[in-house]
Structure 1
Amino acid sequence: MSNISSLYNPIRYTGLSSGMDIDSIVKNLMQVERLPLQKLTRQKTSLIWQREDYRSMNTALTSFRKAAEGLRFGSSFETKQVVSSNPNAVDVTGSSGASEGFNTIKVLNLATSASLTGKALAADTKTDAVVSTGGDITIKGPKGTSTTISITSGSSSIDSIIKDINAQTTVTGVKANYDTNTKRLFLTTDVTGAKSEITVTDNSNAFKSIFNMDSLTSNGVNAKFEFNDAVGVNALESETNNFTLNGLTINLKSPTTEPVSVTVSKSNEVAFDKIKEFVNQYNTIVDQFYSVTSTKQDRSYQPLLEEEKSQMTDKQIEQWETKARQGSLYNDSTLKGALDDFRVAFREPLEGSTFKFLSDIGIKVMSDPRQNGKLEIDEEKLKKALTTNPDAVKDLFTKPSSTVGDTPENKKQRLSELGFAERLYESINNQINKINKRIGMGSVESIDDSILGKDLKRINDRVADLQRRLTDIENRHYKKFTMMEQALQKLNNQGSWLSSQLSSL
């Protein structure tokens, strides 16, 4: 084993005979040899930074895609505004399917759950004290399954009985709670309505006696209300206080003596806000992509090596690396191509629609060339279009295409048929996929089939080869100096022998 070990860790003579600092000499010799490795290490860091920057661009594209997706469907342009005259009693929201018009709701009573409440026990009652009576009880709740709880005289306590009941809540739907302040037991169910029930069968009267119960059965009630729409007054019931009716989501909060009016009208606010978000996200993409593709790399700032970082403060490292990683995507063809594709999608007119361009509804390219083609909105023009011709605005964004195929002619025809949100959604997906093919889907240091993943593998392989070669070179240097030290030691020994011989004459 010692022979094998010496192959990798050869014995080194470090200046005992020569008086030379062999370690320092070898270290200086290796500095030049390590330059190619240092260059590769910096290249690897630059590659990882570039991967991170691409990923940031993909994150921005994902936000833009989300904004485009919000305008792909007609529901964004069909939202309704619902106003309740008394939201404290009747709270109402509406979906796109809610009929426009005037309705009233009169709440006769709310839906309640079944509940049983015992009378107050003695003030000195202790919940951990054992009970003096016993017997089996059967509890049935709204879930329809009965369960048996055993009460044992001299062993069970109020705490243990409540614990046993609650252990079966998932089966029965009945929950027990003892209020130590009022000294009362409460049995409740987790659902409301007439189907909510609690039945306690207590043949021994143990449960009734322990908890001072007058009744062992209870039923919930349905909510009852009168709904007046275009058809007339309808007497209705609901098992819950929250339900959907005619596209309206209704939350009954309290009974009313007078009908509560509910007005449903078309609302353009959601569509308006989503269009603004769509434009804002596009402008964010323009700013970010132009910034990274127009920022040149400062060659005087290279990625730091670990030995360089060890001589710097954290703040200095942060400032240096901020400058060093700038320009990683300078003049990048993928990002510049993405902006070109987006401009084409915005520029082509929409066939077969009242509105053919975004400018028809107040969205146009900024005239200032320093804005790099960002969009601006004439809000009054957009609001007017949404009010006077909402269906045409909807088509402008959501219109589908029936054209398929990858020929240039088919692609051009499909583009002219698609609404602008559909166009941009497809284009954004294409750009995200292009970037993913370049950087991969894993971590920034993962080795995969992406372009940068393969580049990283090549660098890692070269680093490994260089490290092996550097180890060999370093060992050769030490071997030469070791041979020199051994030779000097031999000469010193011979000199000592000769001196001793001469002194003996």
Structure 2
Amino acid sequence: MRVTGLASGIDIDEQVKKMMAAKRVPMDKMSQNKQLLEWRRESYRELNSAIADFRYNKLDKFRLANATNVFSSTVTGNKTAVTAEATLTANQVDMKVRVEKLATQTTATSPALADSTTSKTKLSELGAVGNADGKVILEVSRGTGTPIKLEFSKDDTIQSVLSKINANTDAKLNASFDEASKKLIIKSKDYGADPFTLNGEFDTGIMKTKTPEGNLQIGEPAKVFINGKEHNPAQNEMTINGVKLAFLEESGNEESVITTRPDGNNLIGTIKNFVASYNNLINTLNSKVGEQKYKDFPPLTSEQREKMNEDDIKKWEAKAKSGTLKNDGIINGALLQMRSLLWDTSTKVGNKNLDLSSIGITTGEYTEKGKLYIDEEKLQQAINNNPDEIAAMFGGTKEKDGLFQRMYDRLLTPLTSISNKAGTSRYSADPTLSFNEQSIMGKELTDLNSRMAAFSKKLKTTEDSFYRQFNAMERAINKFNMQSASLANFAGQ
């Protein structure tokens, strides 16, 4: 704490403060520039999050094949034996399906164990005899391949054994314990012709598949008739005529009739979600690049803040933050890229060229800056007339990407540009992730902080110099006053 001005009567602190005010102008300017840079970086992060959310959480789902499927299948007749799901490649051929036999799994079943057996019963309690090393071995063989060996100890419980069998991906088995029948059941994960055999102490002591007590049932493929022709899928499902069929039970005397037709509901739902998400994104981007900039409202200095109340500070800063990305090149570029993709999306139907506007998707007034609108009736009619072509416009084909995939790819460009400039993540919509300080703006802030730190030291040195000068003046005045008092005292004598 400094005690000043005792000799001169001058408020030295106030004088130094006034003298330093001019010296602090460059520091205040750097502080304001830093604040503007930080606000601008935060604005970039906000828009990066919006674009990334649209790309990874919206477009990523829209571009999936089932999102643009325009076909649906219905089942009449026997509705419990078969389910049907149309795919993009459905050819609208009607099918009559009869399930004569379901595919089965190769299944090994142990004899009934003791009534007191539970999932916590140890192998030693079941009479399992280990090998010379005390291990209880289970070997799983398929064809001529190398057997899969699983090892257990006598202290392993039934539950731990089941867990080890199920966790072994090479064995490809599902093991369970039926508490009602007190039997161990081991099934192949695959249906149909996937036979396995069991060997080792676990089989000879517990499963006993090679004795009359145990049982090993070899799996068989399904037997189904589709439009009179026999098919034998290994699993209880197959895709035919572009329709995924699942076989649930034997048909009996009644066939299942599968009818596939375009209805457009699925694709229209996807398009509506896309348009809503797209409109929300461009509204966010447009509002930021069109935001008014108030040049007369720079960031407040610390001294200015001290003289204002909280409400005034909030109102000032709201205007100071406004327009941080006005007419930003990266964001305007992203908007232009998305609009150009919409303009370029079309498909050839005979001699006609269908674009988005011709199927009911149009933009609003110029002042709405690219907002999309849907005429659902017109879109439904277009899908009914040309289902494959309309689906391809959005979902694409093997030869050509659709709108969703092309927009997904194109949006990586602005995300990369924002990431390089502001240090955001181009692969995440999380707005809480830390900035990469090696980005352009990160380096600018680092440089600015270094210059501010150096200038702060310089200001401290200048301030100390002013105080030293005033202190020297105080000492000189004090010395003069002492001499004057001494002379006055001498003259009075």
Fold shared per TM-score above 0.5 = yes
Structure 1 equivalent of residue 129 of structure 2: 135
Letter of the aligned partner of 2:352 in structure 1?
T
Give the Cα separation in 2 of the matches to 1:467 and 1:478: 17
Superposed displacement of residue 440, structure 1? 5.1
- Report the CA distance shift for 1:474/1:183 in structure 2 as closer, same or farther (over 3 A): farther
Give the Cα separation in 1 of the matches to 2:331 and 2:33: 22
User: Aligned with 2:219: secondary structure?
Assistant: coil
Structure 2 equivalent of residue 263 of structure 1: 259
User: Aligned with 1:135: secondary structure?
Assistant: coil
User: Aligned with 2:353: secondary structure?
Assistant: coil
Structure 2 equivalent of residue 101 of structure 1: 93
8 Å contact from structure 2 (residues 137, 201) kept in 1: yes
Structure 1 equivalent of residue 38 of structure 2: 48
Give the Cα separation in 1 of the matches to 2:331 and 2:292: 15
- Report the CA distance shift for 1:263/1:80 in structure 2 as closer, same or farther (over 3 A): same
Instruction: Indicate which of 363, 366, 380 corresponds to 2:377.
Output: 380
Letter of the aligned partner of 1:365 in structure 2?
T
Instruction: Indicate which of 112, 115, 127 corresponds to 1:119.
Output: 112
8 Å contact from structure 2 (residues 99, 251) kept in 1: yes
Give the Cα separation in 1 of the matches to 2:470 and 2:405: 73
Letter of the aligned partner of 1:41 in structure 2?
S
Instruction: Indicate which of 324, 331, 349 corresponds to 1:328.
Output: 324
- Report the CA distance shift for 1:112/1:481 in structure 2 as closer, same or farther (over 3 A): farther
8 Å contact from structure 2 (residues 360, 374) kept in 1: yes
Structure 2 equivalent of residue 354 of structure 1: 352
User: Aligned with 2:230: secondary structure?
Assistant: strand
Structure 1 equivalent of residue 461 of structure 2: 472
- Report the CA distance shift for 1:266/1:90 in structure 2 as closer, same or farther (over 3 A): same
User: Aligned with 1:99: secondary structure?
Assistant: coil
Superposed displacement of residue 296, structure 1? 1.6
Give the Cα separation in 2 of the matches to 1:132 and 1:434: 67
Structure 2 equivalent of residue 287 of structure 1: 283
Does 2:267 align with 1:276? no
* Alignment: residue pair count: 458
Letter of the aligned partner of 2:451 in structure 1?
R
Alignment of 1:63-102 (within 5 A): 79-85=70-76, 88-102=80-94
Superposed displacement of residue 113, structure 1? 4.8
- Report the CA distance shift for 1:34/1:127 in structure 2 as closer, same or farther (over 3 A): farther
Give the Cα separation in 1 of the matches to 2:237 and 2:282: 45
Instruction: Indicate which of 194, 219, 222 corresponds to 1:221.
Output: 219
- Report the CA distance shift for 1:332/1:206 in structure 2 as closer, same or farther (over 3 A): closer
8 Å contact from structure 1 (residues 100, 264) kept in 2: yes
Give the Cα separation in 1 of the matches to 2:123 and 2:202: 23
- Report the CA distance shift for 1:174/1:284 in structure 2 as closer, same or farther (over 3 A): closer
Moved more, 351-360 or 38-47: 351-360
Structure 1 equivalent of residue 248 of structure 2: 253
Letter of the aligned partner of 2:140 in structure 1?
G
Q: State the TM-score, normalizing by the size of structure 1.
A: 0.67
Does 2:449 align with 1:460? yes
Q: State the percentage of identical aligned residues.
A: 23
Moved more, 45-54 or 70-79: 70-79
- Report the CA distance shift for 1:186/1:364 in structure 2 as closer, same or farther (over 3 A): same
Structure 1 equivalent of residue 361 of structure 2: 363
Alignment of 1:401-440 (within 5 A): 432=415, 435=418, 438-439=421-422
Letter of the aligned partner of 1:375 in structure 2?
L
Moved more, 323-332 or 389-398: 389-398
Superposed displacement of residue 372, structure 1? 3.7
User: Aligned with 2:326: secondary structure?
Assistant: coil
Q: Deviations over 1:324-349 (max 9, x none)?
A: 43322234455445545655665679
- Report the CA distance shift for 1:174/1:362 in structure 2 as closer, same or farther (over 3 A): closer
8 Å contact from structure 2 (residues 140, 149) kept in 1: no
Instruction: Indicate which of 3, 7, 24 corresponds to 1:15.
Output: 3
Superposed displacement of residue 62, structure 1? 4.9
Superposed displacement of residue 226, structure 1? 1.0
Give the Cα separation in 1 of the matches to 2:115 and 2:396: 74
Give the Cα separation in 1 of the matches to 2:406 and 2:128: 75
- Report the CA distance shift for 1:57/1:246 in structure 2 as closer, same or farther (over 3 A): same
Root mean square deviation of aligned Cα? 5.4
Give the Cα separation in 2 of the matches to 1:145 and 1:426: 46
Superposed displacement of residue 254, structure 1? 3.1
User: Aligned with 1:254: secondary structure?
Assistant: coil
User: Aligned with 1:330: secondary structure?
Assistant: coil
Letter of the aligned partner of 2:121 in structure 1?
T
Superposed displacement of residue 483, structure 1? 5.7
- Report the CA distance shift for 1:74/1:217 in structure 2 as closer, same or farther (over 3 A): closer
User: Aligned with 1:52: secondary structure?
Assistant: helix
Give the Cα separation in 2 of the matches to 1:369 and 1:446: 38
8 Å contact from structure 1 (residues 350, 419) kept in 2: no
Q: Deviations over 1:240-264 (max 9, x none)?
A: 3344445433333333323322222
Structure 1 equivalent of residue 428 of structure 2: none
Give the Cα separation in 2 of the matches to 1:129 and 1:70: 49
Q: State the TM-score, normalizing by the size of structure 2.
A: 0.68
